[in-house]
Amino acid sequence: MAETMAHAVAHHAPPQGFIRKYVFSIDHKVIGIQYTTLSLVAAFVGMALSWAMRIHLAWPDMRLPILGWLSPNGAPGGLMTPEYYLSLMTMHGTIMAFFVLTAAPFAGFGNFMLPIQVGAADMAFPRLNMASFWVTFTGFLLACATFFIPDGPPLSGWTAYAPLSAVGSVAGPGQGWGQNLWGLSIALFCVASLLGSLNFIVTVLDLRTKGLKMSRLPLSTWAWFIDAWVSLLAFAVLLPTCLLLVLDRLGGTSFFIPGGLVFNDQLQPHSGGSPLLFQHLFWFFGHPEVYIIILPAFGLVSHIMPTFIGKPLVGGWKVITFSEIAVGTLSFVVWGHHMFVSGMSPYMAMVFSVPTLFITIPSVIAVLVWVFSLYGANIRFDTPMLYSLGFISLFITGGIGGFFLAQPSTDSYLHATSFVVGHFHFTMGLSAIFATFAGFYYWFPKMFGRMMNEKLGKLHFWLSFIGVYCVFITMQLTGMSGAVRRYSALVDDFMVPLIPAYRFMTIAALLLGAAQFIFLYNVIWSRFKGPKAPDNPWGATTLEWDTTSPPPFDNFGGRQLVVHHGPMEYDGDESLMQTSPEPSIAGT
Amino acid sequence: MNPTELVVNEKLASIEPERKEHGIVMELSPYGVDKKKLGMWMFIVSDACTFAAFLFAYGYMRIGAPVWGTPFGPSSIANGVLMTAILLSSSLTMLAAVRASQADDRSSAKKWLGVTMLLGVIFAALHLREWFKLIGEGWRLFYNPTGGAAQFGATFFSVTGLHLTHVVTGVIALAFVVRGYSQRRYDQSHVETAGLYWHFVDLVWMFVFPLMYLMNAH
Amino acid sequence: MAGKIFAAIVVLVTLATAYCVIAHVWWMPVDISVHGPKIDQQLEETMLVAGLLFVAGQVVLAAFVFLYGGAKNRPKQIPGGAKYLVLFAFLIVGAEILALSFVGSKAWGAVYFEAPDPNSLHIDVQAGQFAYYFRYPGPDGTFGALHPELINEGNQNFFGIDTDHDPDAKDDIVTAEMAIPVNKPILLTLHSKDVGHSFDVRELRVQQDFVPGLIIPIHFTATQTGRFEIVCTQLCGLGHYNMKAYLSVLSQADYDDWLKKQAAMQ
């Protein structure tokens, strides 16, 4: 025993030197903070892009000098060209979907918290973990690099539909090296996600501390575990999709490019490829992707709520976890609902519609669990809880839109309208962002050892919550009148009357964005000036609160933890730390 | 740590001495395998999806093409059968290496690993010979000299290229394993993990060979 | 206090949303197609079902937050636990989605499962960056074959038809605007010359992508005369926002006149 301990200490002596400690660190906590920081930077970049787009939509004549400086071709004199609008839109989607929504709640918090929550000293493969982050970082740099090449970023949307994305510069500006870099950037992101998921799964299966049976896992760990599986299978398909796209562009192959295409009266040399193959491959990844984004959010909210309502979730760990497993599994058989009007067989549309509608059942169960857990509760409205409540409200609103888009008949009207854009911003965008905020306010004390300012946190919540509804409910409802998405200007007869609504959304979006600077200020101020955080400021029960804030290098200072029960056990009114051996009296 | 916990831990340590990480006793693994092997299994699951996507694209292209190239004559098929036999044998030698390492017969394990690597190199060489022959006949990623679908080259070179990359990576990985194993930094579990990968690459070939060669024989 | 503010915001948002939907602040334009009412009805039924779930969900959330915020009572679980919640999801939501699938399949089938009327007027539509072109078969009733290599915008050969050698192509009428007779079944064949596009006429309740390499048929019958926008809804490049054409639904007599004029202009 003594020998093993000595070995452990030798193995887990904190590294020395700035580079080993903070840059190329194998410590999962540093990597978690690196991911979170990367996502935060990416989120502000993505938000700035959305501001530029919204301003251009509402006031097309307004000059934005910073854009003129960034891209003299894309925005001469600060006036955005249509293709630059589409480029900004593409990069907004790409950066937000991959580098913010996929990275922050899964890789960011997951890396920091998952090993601690299972009582391990680190991830199963710390070096692989470090590699995941730096590959993601390189991917992000490549994505950002597209802004600084002469041709500008790609304009084919985050979905990069072929053949627009595959034929190269003949299809117009924004189809040169920007699209190649995009493909490589996403391919790198896939590799990093695969390595990360593998690491998460093995850590959960193999590194749980004594007594931490699967049934006793914290709900956030459960969600990351399920999410890692979905991610492992889905990104494994996006990777070859990106490679084939790049091969079409650089290798002259025709996987996604059919014959007989004519650009500028020139017949293209390709033949025999299929744009629908791209759509099938992309959406086979793309639909699980939205669940890859939202499942960690399910987990964060389910993990945070019991602490602030003073009781377990209805149905204990089982109901919520099984609905997450059901959602994750069904997500692989519904991808065709993105392709109802794509020319795919209309019979296939029916085949894909039914499981898509059925996925609402586990989703509804999850929502019911959260809402009805509030019944008879003793709710404490700290900022993490407010964000969790905001998440529930936004997820309900977003989920409702799913009923319309899951049916081919109604989707044939609503497809490609701003109804869709509003729907997915609610469901996977802002729901996930709100859950991420909940997690951020909840775990900040643990990650940095200081409390965040509650007043600013609440102000941030109220402004964000109202702002989100102003922007995206309007967006979704204008879609009912057929407002088409991805238009860089409102020139169609039926789009012109919508200009006041678009201006309202723009103003609301600018205010919503401005509110995020309160958050940024709060983060930076609290990081250095916030009051010192106690070990367990919220009265929570999971292992991350059974160590110092922030935790030592090996997480528990060499202590052997023994877990005696699940995360939602109570002794009378008092919640029980998972390591406390008292027999439970109440709870599930 | 209170005294009861210590007692519990020591008891556990005696039952499950290997379930420790950094000196901390872990909950039993549901599959009773160590993390390297489990990680390799996860990689295999994911990599299988990647190959499946490539093969799906191949099937999609092939079904959609009015005329498909069938460039492989008897000599190519014979070469393919030989490659298959070599790769299958390499799985057997890999198995021998794993067995030897489990019996702690290090010299024998190293010998069998060496034979496996040699077979992998021969496989890659034969594979490249096939490639160069096709390229010599005018086949390209984007060109079919027989006038059929250009997708033949695209799918053939990308699918077999991906597989070849796996074989070459496997040989390099085995070299690292042999080195670590000789220096006694690695134990039999590393050999076994490498073996898992090797068998997976072999298994993939069992799909690639009939789909890419036998179905394209004239 | 925070709970009460939260509940108030949620209720306000719910009411505002419900008002916008019920008052049709933004709504579908009046339908002008035979199959459209089925889609509209399906959309309205979905709106009823989903709208009720939305209002119920938000109001219950707001009510619980309002009632149980900062209560100093001993927390208790809802009677019956998760059992009734799961049952509700499976039975009520399950029944709803089965009903929606069943009824919805009819609306979908009306557009896609029925064969086009054999007497349909057949119009060939080609989309390219960033314009639509329409082709009428002319008196012989047959279209000339397409030769993509002949496409030349300079000499107005948008479809790539061989008017010199192909007798079928000689009388083909190519237009930049689409006109159809009212109450006449129409069959469109959609093909793209470059990237993906879409054929979307909101009033017709028709939206169908153009997919390069495929010829996609779609059929409908318009029931009202008028002039409507055909817009592109599939991202196709820099001019996407401005890619549109007009559809004129005319009386049979007006349509015949129009077609004659177009034929004279070829």
Say whether residue A199 is in contact with chain B using an 8 A CB cutoff: yes
- For residue range A394-449, list pLDDT tens digits in order: 999 999 999 999 999 999 999 999 999 999 999 999 999 999 999 999 999 999 99
Instruction: Give the residue ranges of DSSP H helices in chain B.
Output: 3-15, 35-64, 74-102, 106-136, 151-182, 188-208
Same domain, residue pair C93 and C69? yes
Contact B26 A213 (CB under 8 A): no
Contact A409 C42 (CB under 8 A): yes
Average pLDDT rounded to a whole number, residues C63-88: 87
What are A180's two structure tokens? 């190649």
Residues 1-20 of chain A whose Cβ lies under 8 A from any Cβ of chain B: 1, 4-5, 7-9, 11-12
- pLDDT given at position C137: 93
Q: Where in chain B is the domain with CATH 1.20.120.80?
A: 33-216
Contact A232 B61 (CB under 8 A): no
The pLDDT > 90 percentage for chain C reads 81
Q: Are A431 and A395 in contact (CB under 8 A)?
A: yes
Same domain, residue pair C53 and C85? yes
Is B33-216 a domain of CATH 1.20.120.80? yes
Whether pTM > 0.90 for this model: the answer is yes
- pLDDT given at position B10: 46
Please tell me the distance in Å from B43's CA to the nearest CA on chain A: 7
Tell me which chain A residues have a C-beta less than 8 angstroms from the C-beta of C205: 412-413
Which residue in B194, B27, B24, B191 sits closest to A206, CA to CA?
A: B27
- For residue range A231-246, list pLDDT tens digits in order: 999 999 999 999 999 9
Contact B65 A206 (CB under 8 A): no
Same domain, residue pair C255 and C132? yes
Tell me which chain A residues have a C-beta less than 8 angstroms from the C-beta of B30: 205, 214
Can you tell me whether residue A289 is helix, strand or coil? helix
- pLDDT given at position B19: 62
Residue of A nearest to B155 (CA): A255
Contact C237 A164 (CB under 8 A): yes
Same domain, residue pair C150 and C245? yes
Query: Which 8-state DSSP code applies to residue C135?
Result: E
* Confidence class for position B12, pLDDT limits 50, 70, 90: very low
- How many CB atoms sit inside 10 A of residue B33's CB? 18
**Neighbors of chain B by Cβ distance (3+ pairs < 8 Å):** A
Say whether residue A83 is in contact with chain B using an 8 A CB cutoff: no
- For residue range A156-191, list pLDDT tens digits in order: 999 999 999 999 998 888 888 999 999 999 999 999
Domains and CATH numbers, chain A: 20-258+272-587 (1.20.210.10)
* Confidence class for position B24, pLDDT limits 50, 70, 90: confident
Contact A480 C194 (CB under 8 A): no
Residues 324-383 of chain A whose Cβ lies under 8 A from any Cβ of chain B: none
Same domain, residue pair C232 and C203? yes
* pLDDT above 70 (res A559): yes
**Neighbors of chain C by Cβ distance (3+ pairs < 8 Å):** A
Phi, psi dihedral angles at C57 (to 5 degrees): -60, -50
- For residue range A73-129, list pLDDT tens digits in order: 899 999 999 999 999 999 999 999 999 999 999 999 999 999 999 999 999 999 999
Distance separating alpha carbons of residues C202 and A494, to the nearest angstrom: 10
Distance separating alpha carbons of residues A117 and A124, to the nearest angstrom: 14
Q: Is C149 exposed, middle or buried (0-12, 13-18, 19+ CB in 10 A)?
A: exposed
Residues 157-196 of chain A whose Cβ lies under 8 A from any Cβ of chain B: 194
Of A309, A361, A407, the CB nearest to C104: A407
Tell me which chain B residues have a C-beta less than 8 angstroms from the C-beta of A269: 142
Of C78, C113, C151, the CB nearest to A372: C78
Distance separating alpha carbons of residues B34 and A205, to the nearest angstrom: 10
Q: Sheet containing C131-136: give its strands across.
A: C173-175, C131-136, C121-128, C185-192, C216-221
Domain range for residue C135?
121-265
Domain boundary among C76, C92, C112: C112
Tell me which chain C residues have a C-beta less than 8 angstroms from the C-beta of A462: 5, 9
Of C101, C113, C153, the CB nearest to A353: C101
- For residue range B56-96, list pLDDT tens digits in order: 999 999 998 888 878 888 999 999 999 999 999 999 999 99
The pLDDT > 90 percentage for chain A reads 86
Same domain, residue pair C149 and C256? yes
Please tell me the distance in Å from B18's CA to the nearest CA on chain A: 11
Contact A201 B22 (CB under 8 A): no
Same domain, residue pair C150 and C93? no
Interface test with A, best of C4, C59, C86, C157 (most A CBs within 10 A): C86
What are A406's two structure tokens? 């899951």
Which residue in C127, C121, C124, C167 sits closest to C144, CA to CA?
A: C167
Q: Are A405 and A422 in contact (CB under 8 A)?
A: no
Same domain, residue pair C222 and C145? yes
Average pLDDT rounded to a whole number, residues A364-388: 95
Domain CATH for C236: 2.60.40.420
Contact C71 A377 (CB under 8 A): yes
Domain boundary among C87, C112, C137: C112
Looking at the 3D structure of chain C, how many domains does it have?
2
Distance separating alpha carbons of residues A501 and A508, to the nearest angstrom: 11
Q: Are C32 and C222 in contact (CB under 8 A)?
A: yes
Interface test with B, best of A191, A193, A197, A202 (most B CBs within 10 A): A202
Same domain, residue pair C168 and C83? no
Same domain, residue pair C45 and C144? no
* Confidence class for position A12, pLDDT limits 50, 70, 90: low
Residue in the block written with tokens 């997976």: B200
Distance separating alpha carbons of residues A459 and C91, to the nearest angstrom: 40
Same domain, residue pair C91 and C29? yes
Say whether residue A116 is in contact with chain B using an 8 A CB cutoff: no
Same domain, residue pair C91 and C168? no
Tell me which chain B residues have a C-beta less than 8 angstroms from the C-beta of A582: none
* pLDDT above 90 (res A305): yes
* Confidence class for position A49, pLDDT limits 50, 70, 90: very high
Contact C78 A163 (CB under 8 A): no
Which residue in B33, B25, B19 sits closest to B1, CA to CA?
A: B25
